[in-house]
Structure 1
């Protein structure tokens, strides 16, 4: 059975990476999600995709230049699907407290060695505090982040995000001891999928929004797919 992850919540229906978006994902009966993390200036884990605030809030500057107490007041619905109410940037802790997901893919973008270590340490502490170690996989395309995970939080499951095939993603995943491969769907051939699963990897493909593509990838045997439309995915794959 192919599992479904809501991409940044339900990105196609509600502004991405907001509490409302994750709640919509849950309303569709989809109990797995993928989200993105950046540290605030005072070291809190904030759920936002870009390192800068411009695209989703219209504000200037980087996430890391603002304290969490201010970031949670910024309305992040710019450029997303229509939302009547403001949708502030959430802390990861708020989602842990309010959204009962069965599994979380927490993606950390590329970072310097120091920032990667700080981010990973913050994730490990928050995950432990909420008792979610068996429900979390920290993913990244960054070697620096994957190294920090091996070093600072070896007990947490880690995953490689692979967008391009210029390096063999299976070799990279193996090198960093990953249990999950988040694969751009365009790289998902039946051959690569079979090889990855033989290697013991859970293969999660993204971003899959077309019903025909959902069915095709499910027929290939992908372990999970990440979609902007978790309700559509449930309707498409629900009878399998």
Structure 2
């Protein structure tokens, strides 16, 4: 528990951004396993579909930045994607890390850590939301005993997912201040549990508007210790960070 304006509220949640992206190559098993070791509350990860319709965990629409390959994720089969090296770009000691499937991550996470899943570039992938729902069900991650949140910048994507699996909490990622207006938040509150804005959009007024509508707020992405205490004082519910240990030391 923590204090906010003299009122006890739930402990701030620590959300490990793409795993421990400050310490290990993002969206790899090395990064996720370290987040579990650091006792983060949630892993944040990004999903897309391979050419052969398998859910894979990678942020960019291409493999260029985080692997030794080149080209669009959607143009590679799962076997081809997993033949790429996803670790050496970060540090040679991570050579051999691969692009994981969502199933591989869920198998490791279940019962140990929550999962915050972003549907990435959903306009590129017809059926992405149904595929995600099927995968969560196959690992029993849709049950109330598990901690799963599905989020996106694309509100249509999370609406589609919500229609398929309404028991899973929905988050909306925000980088446009207009979405934090009173009327828009009222509209979002009909189906959204989390409003997750970029750091520069976080104000006490915005948090109050979000909380007054029964939603929570996880700002992104914390990469400096200096911003943690101000966020905690404002009353955020969680912090999405590349360095989960920064928050645990506060």
What TM-score do you get using the length of structure 2 for normalisation? Answer: 0.86
For 1:92 and 1:126, the matched residues in 2 are separated by 8
Q: Does 1:11 align with 2:11?
A: no
Could you tell me which residue of structure 1 aligns to residue 119 of structure 2? 108
2:131 corresponds, among 119, 122, 126, to 122
2:80 corresponds, among 56, 60, 70, to 70
Q: Does 1:178 align with 2:187?
A: no
Could you tell me which residue of structure 1 aligns to residue 179 of structure 2? 167
What TM-score do you get using the length of structure 1 for normalisation? Answer: 0.90
Could you tell me which residue of structure 2 aligns to residue 214 of structure 1? 228
Structure 1, residues 44-94: CA drift from partner, whole Å, max 9, x if none? 110000111111113121111111122122111254355343211000100
> Which consecutive unaligned segments of at least 5 residues does structure 2 have?
1-10
Could you tell me which residue of structure 1 aligns to residue 140 of structure 2? 131
| Contact persistence 2:48–2:56 (CA under 8 A) | yes
Could you tell me which residue of structure 2 aligns to residue 43 of structure 1? 53
- Between stretches 125-134 and 72-81, larger displacement belongs to 72-81
Could you tell me which residue of structure 1 aligns to residue 5 of structure 2? none
Q: Does 1:194 align with 2:205?
A: no
For 2:121 and 2:181, the matched residues in 1 are separated by 17
2:170 corresponds, among 141, 158, 178, to 158
The alignment of Structure 1 onto Structure 2 pairs a total of residues equal to 234
SS in 2 for 1:225: strand
Residue 130 to residue 4, structure 1, CA distance change in 2 (3 Å): same
Q: After the TM superposition, list the runs of 4 or more consecutive aligned residues in structure 1 that deviate by more than 6 angstroms.
A: none
| Contact persistence 2:67–2:85 (CA under 8 A) | yes
SS in 1 for 2:177: coil
Q: Does 1:59 align with 2:92?
A: no
2:153 corresponds, among 125, 137, 141, to 141
Could you tell me which residue of structure 2 aligns to residue 2 of structure 1? 12
Structural RMSD (CA): 1.9
> Which consecutive unaligned segments of at least 5 residues does structure 1 have?
none
| Contact persistence 1:111–1:144 (CA under 8 A) | no
Could you tell me which residue of structure 1 aligns to residue 247 of structure 2? 233
For 1:83 and 1:136, the matched residues in 2 are separated by 31
How many Å apart are 1:174 and its aligned residue? 4.5
For 2:81 and 2:224, the matched residues in 1 are separated by 34
| Contact persistence 1:110–1:144 (CA under 8 A) | no
For 1:87 and 1:4, the matched residues in 2 are separated by 24
Residue 88 to residue 65, structure 1, CA distance change in 2 (3 Å): same
